Amino acid sequence: MKYYTAEELARITDGILNKQEEVKVCKLYPPLMADEETLALALNEEEIGNLEKTKAKIAVVPFGAAPENMSSIEVSRPRLAMMKLLTLFYEAPTAGEGIHPSAVVYSTVHLGKNVSLGPNVVVNEGAEIGDNTKILANVYIGENVKIGRDCLIHAGVNIGKDTIIGDRVIINHGASIGADGFSFVTETPDNIENAKREGEIKDINKEQIVYKIPSLGGVKIGNDVEIGANTCIDKGTIEYTQIGDQTKIDDLVMIGHNCKIGKACMIVSQAGIAGSCVIGDRVVIAGQAGLADHLTVGSDSIIMAQAGVSKSFPERSIIVGAPAVPRKEFIRQLQTMKKAEQLIKKFRAYEKVLNADVENNEG
């Protein structure tokens, strides 16, 4: 267990040290869980208040929130400081050294230096795994997969044929990379095609046969990407489904075949992106948002939670609602509804008078 001094922690967080006594810590906890060997993390008002009850001798706080009775490190960007501290204290899971006896590695596989393969890992024909990559238990790696350096593949991940993964990629438990795309065709126009063309559903063929369109492409994932647990990224029909460098994908996200996701995007849990969408750089897609197929969303856009996106949007858009519209238009719609509600209230207030006038006139 490694201990850190107050001076070391201040330097790591780029913070200002207010020192009351010598202190060394080996743990990081909220104030109420801290002891004398703990750095107390107090980055919001509630946790700052809890410092009065803590056993810790030192805390990290936002600028201007230094307590009087203990040492502290004041930081300008609390969340950034938290990231640095969590990275400092984080211990990555281990796959054990080398190749576990139960792992299956085909003869044509190329392994780099210091690769770790956990129990029951399968690495198929023609695969390549870069230096220092760790692959935990029960991972399947398909034919001709290429995985870069310093990657961490958690337990239960499935990586399909012809997938290319860059350096320093993290793939969390149970993710599926490179499964066949959800792509089908019928001999005659189906209900979806009729609805798009005619605006209604008619001439129903109850004997319609649905044929699967095979996926011959792959998935290409850039450097420094993280993919959450149980997320699915389907391979392209002919080309690659692509995920750009630095993009971070949460748990339970669905990315369809042929999609092209840009650099440094943030895609939050339960978002669904249908096939052949093009997403620019630095786009945020919030939880439970859904995108129809063949859309383009420009760089630096934000898609708000539960948005139903059925059309393309230019760069720097803030997209809200279902069906989704630009944020300004959404606000205008809300204002219009509020004005309509006020008008209805006014009408009801005069409704009896109006009805009485009508009755008098008829009489």
29-31-33 Cα angle (round to 5): 60
pLDDT of residue 247: 98
What percentage of the chain exceeds 70 in pLDDT? 96
Mean pLDDT of all residues in 26-37:
95
pLDDT of residue 326: 84
Residue 329 pLDDT grade (very low, low, confident, very high; cuts 50, 70, 90):
confident
Looking at per-residue pLDDT, the higher value among 289 and 206 belongs to 289
- Backbone φ and ψ for 176, nearest 5 degrees, come out as -120, 115
- Backbone φ and ψ for 227, nearest 5 degrees, come out as -125, 125
pLDDT in tens, 148-187: 999 999 999 999 999 999 999 999 999 999 999 999 998 8
Residue 224 pLDDT grade (very low, low, confident, very high; cuts 50, 70, 90):
very high
> Cβ atoms within 10 A of the Cβ of 103, count?
19
> Cβ atoms within 10 A of the Cβ of 51, count?
21
Residue 363 pLDDT grade (very low, low, confident, very high; cuts 50, 70, 90):
low
Active-site option among 110, 154, 257, 294: 257
How is the chain split among helix, strand and coil, in percent rounded to 5?
20, 30, 50
Q: How far apart are CA 127 and CA 161, in angstroms?
A: 9
pLDDT of residue 94: 77
pLDDT in tens, 103-150: 999 999 999 999 999 999 999 999 999 999 999 999 999 999 999 999
Report whether pLDDT(222) > 90.
Answer: yes
pLDDT of residue 344: 78
- The helix or strand, by DSSP H or E, that contains position 303, with its residue range, turns out to be strand 302-303
Mean pLDDT of all residues in 79-83:
94
Q: How far apart are CA 355 and CA 348, in angstroms?
A: 11
The topology under which CATH files domain 104-325 is UDP N-Acetylglucosamine Acyltransferase; domain 1 (2.160.10)
Mean pLDDT of all residues in 203-212:
85
**Mean pLDDT, rounded, of the chain:** 92
Q: Which residues contact 175 (CB under 8 A, 6 or more apart)?
A: 154, 157, 158, 227, 228, 229, 230, 231, 232, 233
Catalytic annotation present for 257: yes
- Backbone φ and ψ for 312, nearest 5 degrees, come out as -80, 155
Question: Which of 3.30.360.10, 3.30.43.10, 3.40.1390.10, 1.10.1040.10 is the CATH number of 4-89?
Answer: 3.40.1390.10
Domain spans in the chain, listed from the N-terminal domain onward: 4-89, 104-325, 332-363
Question: What is the three-class DSSP state of 351?
Answer: helix
